[in-house]
Structures are given as C-alpha cells and as structure tokens.
Structure 1
C-alpha cells in the first residue's frame, strides 16, 4: 500500500504544480511540496493563508482556498488523522491479517496480474521461417 500512497502523493504534487503554472506561471516541484507540507500542518483556510503570507507568498485568496481544497481532497488523511494514528497502534498480527486481506482483495480486482509468468516456447519452425524471410530480404 506504500506504493499507492507514493503515487497519490506524486499525483497531488503534479496537480499543485499545474495550478501554480496556470495561476502564477511557476512550475516548481519543490515549491509544490512545500505548499503541501504547509497545508498538512495548517488545515484551516485562515491558518493556511497566514502561514503562506509569513513565508512571503502573496497569492490571491481564491487561489489559496483552491489550493487548500485540492490538497485536502486529494490527500484524505488530513480529514482522518485520528484514524491513521489508531492504525499505527495496531498489533503486528492485525497488520499481517490486513495485508493478507488486501492481497486477497487485490487478487479479486486484478485477476490477470495474479497469474504466474508463462515460459515462451521456442518453436524451431517459426525460427526457420523468420530466418528464411530475413535471407530473402538480404538478397534484395
């Protein structure tokens, strides 16, 4: 599940970069990650505006509100911090059970990804046909 969280974070960074590009003409990944971290620490609009102003960001109010809304919608753990703290307190047995349940669910969702790789059969007749075709092309 860690990979999925990283992918969601990268998607969020990309979205914030796009918004910065559209509104300010800036396309800076580090700035986007900094803004996201400020939004994580300051979840209300007033706090977020104040922190941005303290750091020298003079963004329009509508843009600040839009950034905070995007960050909170694309990163839902802001709304459920308490739930994430409880999940950190789970015992190792429960975590193993959850990972097994997640694996079973993923196998149901993505059945074709659960199939083992098949060995490719080497067909001598096919290889001979390819060699003959290549020889004919070389003769031209």
Structure 2
C-alpha cells in the first residue's frame, strides 16, 4: 500500500520524537468479525491513531464569488457514517483513538499529545527493550 505524504510525515515524527514504533494498518475489531483498521496503533496501550487527510478546493459561486470546499473520500455521507461506526466500535472495544490532520503535524501539535497519552497509558518513555542478542550479553551466566 502506497503511503501518503501525511502518513510519511507521521512516521517521521514518531521516529523524531523517539516514540514506540506503532503497528500500521492494525485490524482492531477482528474479535467481532469486523475489518476496521487504525492508521497507526499501539495495542499494548489500547491506543489508535486516525490520520484525516483531505483536500481544500476553491469553488466558483454565482457573481464571481468563491468558496473553499473540503473534498475527500472521507467526506462523503457514506464514508462519514462508516467512520462513525468504526470509532464507535473502537470505543465499545475499549480503545482510545486520537485523530490528526496535516495541520496538526505541520504545527508540531500531534506528537506532544500522542506522547502524553502513551505515558498516561503506561509507557515509561523508554525506547524498545534490548534486542535479543544484547539481552543475552547483559545476563550474568554465573
């Protein structure tokens, strides 16, 4: 699956902030037979992230006026209903879901929020545990 620039920016910021690596495109509702996915997920902390991408276009109205209109597949009536069902299911299954747009990422607002939620959910702020080879070296064999 091709990554969008929004997804790439999110991945870059997760790495820059040294947050734990999420699972991308995680199916969180398999237990109830649904195929819902989070854009990014930390199952240990029951936390999902949805990235809301959209385009803004200028539409010409009567008398030469223009109006800015949001366009995206996620803004069709059917997709909004599906997104509501997905987020409601996540809550019913005990998940917390953060939602970010390109504006949040550009303004460097998403990662501080994500970091605070991960810490509140039990992340100790440390990076991943030692790799297996390093862990073996760290064990005193005597």
After TM superposition, the score normalised by the length of structure 2 is 0.28
* Structure of higher CA gyration radius: 1
Return the structure number with greater strand share: 2
The structure whose RCO (Cα within 8 Å, separation 6+) is larger is: 2
